[in-house]
Amino acid sequence: MSTVLLVRHGRTTANAGGILAGRQPGVHLDDTGREQAAALGGHLAEVPLVAAVTSPLERCRETLDLLLGDRPDVPVHVDERLSECDYGDWSGRSLKELAREPAWKVVQGHASAAGFPGGETLLQMQGRAVDAIRDWNTVLGDSAVYLVVSHGDVIKSILADALGMHLDQFQRIRVDPASTSVVEYTVLRPFVDRMNDTGPGAARLATRRPRRGRRRGEAVVGGGGGS
């Protein structure tokens, strides 16, 4: 079935300043983030993408524009379900300040019970994000290879689901800015082929002997551990 390249947006001014940006408008890539996105576009230039799906937030749109570069042939779709977690009243605050909040330990160690005042719960975030991926798998069809540009916590929650990992453990997954993680969705189960790759490794598409539950002839991305 579908192979999904999960890309976190490049570094932003908020990332560099230690701010939890959330869904606040006006958060843009900084110079490093733009360089990261352009470099990632080079790494993925030969991947035969059938589509790209993005969070509506500026930092993801900017990343996708730089990543696709001169590839107008790739259709672009915006999906609100892939937007950043709604951190509510926590949005725009410094991480150092938030680390002193009593709820911080819940977010870090018991994510399935964590909710943000004036925002959503992490379970709600994971539910909408996983639903979006499965819907796009159906829309784009078997053997599709497509790109999703989203946010750190959103991507970690998708990977946790693909790994069969409880959401309470999702903070153990690292997803750096401008990294690529690859999940192959088959009729049997998802296979996580690569996580947090910040180099060219995620672009290695090859035909391998089909796994049990994979349909013959499907493309496979990566293989082995990520960087």
Domain at 144, CATH number: 3.40.50.1240
| Residue 227 domain-assigned (yes or no) | no
Q: Do the domain assignments include residue 86?
A: yes
Tell me what pLDDT residue 70 has.
Answer: 86
Q: Express each pLDDT in 170-187 by its tens digit.
A: 999 999 999 999 999 998
Write down the residue that tokens 């570069």 correspond to.
Answer: 69
Amino acid letter, 202: A
Specify the residue for token string 């509506």. 56
**What pLDDT was estimated at residue 142?**
84
The total number of structural domains in the chain stands at 1
Residue 213 placed within a domain: yes
Q: Is the pLDDT of residue 202 over 60?
A: yes
Average pLDDT over residues 212-227: 36
**Is 80 exceeded by the pLDDT of residue 139?**
yes
* Residue 99 located in a structural domain: yes
Does residue 226 belong to any structural domain of this protein?
A: no
pTM above 0.95, yes or no: no
pLDDT confidence of 212, banded at 50, 70, 90?
Answer: very low
What is the extent of the structural domain holding 30?
A: 3-221
The answer to whether residue 122 scores a pLDDT higher than 50 is yes
- Does residue 147 lie in a domain region? yes
Q: Tell me the mean pLDDT in the region 106-124.
A: 97
198 located within any domain? yes
106: Cα separation from own chain's centroid: 22
pLDDT exceeds 90 at position 41 = yes
d(CA 193, CA 226): 8
